[in-house]
Chain A
Amino acid sequence: MRWNKGLMAAGVAAMVPVGVALPSGSQSPAPPARFVVVLDAAHGGDDTGGRLDPDHLEKDFTLAMSVRLRSLLGARGMQVITTREQDATVDDNRRDEIANRANAQACLSLHASASGRGVHLYISSLAPAGGARFTAWRTAQAAWVSRSLALAGTLNGDLKQAEIPVIVGRMTLPVLDSMACPAVAVEIAPQGNDAQGGGLDNADYQAKVAGALASALLEWRSESGQTGSGQSGARQP
């Protein structure tokens, strides 16, 4: 029997890495000392995403925004983990693996679109569920939906404070549904007409959006009772 218990323990230990972290309130480990943010620049490589205009692709915009935001967050003492640092194809499951291993306090999936106005925030459409010992990969976000809604609320507040139109909604996104962290998909659309200088290629607009997102994450860190330590900068897993 002793051998069996040992085998079972080994089996459970082997299963833990493929499971996902649980939200606080259940049997989760002690919160990490550092405030970790995962930035997922959507698309990349062969997956170009949408065409924002004849000269710009969504994959390039999301990567540029990820780099810009990483600098802002790093300067505020947050640890930033990115899912890609170059124009490379990254599988959705790989993105989720990176996010789930980071034990992050916020995960943002960055998108861009030429349709609509302002910034669109999307949370997983999964129904909220209580924490379980093991969570299904495809519905891992269910245990975090309430925290994701709260994060979206914070982002919404700061974006509106920066006078950027915001739409908040819920939808099914496989990359979001498998994230075990407060996760929001952020889609950046033009602020106004291109003729009025409100297009996605406007550097001032990009800086305003990035600044508002960084400010919101700072506020989120305060709400979460976390404080950044001295070490800052980005880490690519």
Chain B
Amino acid sequence: MIPRYQQIIFAVLLLTSLGMGVLLWRLRERAHERLVAGADSAPTRAPEVAPAEQATLLLANDTDGTLLTQVQSLPLPAEPGARARAVLGRLLDLYAAPGSTHPVPGGAASVAQVFLMPMPANESAEQPGRAPQQSSENGPQLAIVNLTAGFASSHPSGLETEGLTVLSICGTLHANLPRVAEVRFLIDGQQRATLAGHADLTRTYLAGEAAPAAAEASQ
């Protein structure tokens, strides 16, 4: 004969076990629903950093020593410094690509930073046709392009090839950021005498020095 208190304990344990089973089943269902819901909300395409815009690149050609204007569509950030870096990155990517007319290894990673600074008031006031009271917000800018040491050391050496690289960078900056009037170059944050033995990097380049070739190509 089973005592009455043992019957009560058995019944309570049985009910508790059944209740825990039901609870476990419900929790499993909910977890599954959450997983399904999460999968539905996962992004199916990479987010775009910036909308695509038209950018003008001045591409160098070693064969005839010219700069050819090419218009490309690429995502451009709104911030001018990042915009300048993105444009120069594309330019150097094209130079690093196989079959380039101006082969230079390195690509976009060769541009460490581009700093845009307002030109000193006494210098900008000397610009012909510029009102002296023009604010620095709309005034000419000095671009400082900081290239990596790897880019400089792997750049082919020569008057023509180094000169074209410098001019194409200056021209591309001016074409996309018209306020950039002057350009200076740094290698790993330091001033260097030449790019690869020839092109003078100690001077300040006028961004408008690179006159685009008459021929144009769009892509």
Contacts and interface: CB of A to CB of B under 8 A. Distances in A.
Given A167-B64, A169-B65, A113 B156 contact: yes
Given A115-B161, A116-B65, A171 B199 contact: yes
A189 interface: yes
Interface string B191-210: 00000111110110000010
A224 to B, nearest CB: 26
Contact of A43 (B197, B199, B203): B197
Contacts of A171: 159, 163, 199
Interface in B156-179: 156-161, 163
B62 interface: yes
A169 B213 CA distance: 14
Contact of B159 (A47, A111, A117): A111
Interface string A173-198: 11000000000010101000000000
A112 B157 CA distance: 9
B67 to A, nearest CB: 11
B165 to A, nearest CB: 10
Interface in A110-169: 111-117, 120, 122, 125, 167, 169
Contact of A115 (B158, B200, B202, B203): B158
B138 interface: no
B63 interface: yes
A58 interface: yes
B157 A58 contact: yes
B159 A122 contact: yes
A174 B65 CA distance: 21
A49 interface: yes
Contacts of A122: 159-160, 163
Nearest to A115: B161
Contact of A185 (B156, B159, B161, B209): B159
A50 B63 CA distance: 18
Interface residues of A, number: 25
Contacts of A116: 62-63, 65, 158, 160-161
A172 interface: yes
Interface in A10-69: 43, 47, 49-51, 58
Interface residues of B, number: 20
A113 B161 contact: yes
Nearest to A166: B65
Contact of A172 (B62, B63, B203): B203
Contacts of A174: 200, 202
A113 B165 CA distance: 15
B200 A113 contact: no
Interface in B60-106: 62-65, 103
Contacts of A169: 65, 160, 163
B159 A120 contact: yes
A111 B157 CA distance: 10
B197 A120 contact: no
A113 B196 contact: no
24 contacts: A43-B197, A49-B157, A50-B157, A50-B196, A50-B198, A111-B159, A111-B198, A112-B158, A113-B157, A114-B156, A114-B158, A115-B161, A120-B158, A120-B159, A120-B160, A122-B160, A122-B163, A125-B209, A167-B64, A167-B160, A171-B159, A174-B200, A187-B159, A189-B160
Interface of B: 62-65, 103, 156-161, 163, 196-200, 202-203, 209
Give the top 5 A-B pairs by smallest Cβ distance, nearest first.
A50-B157, A113-B158, A167-B65, A115-B161, A187-B159
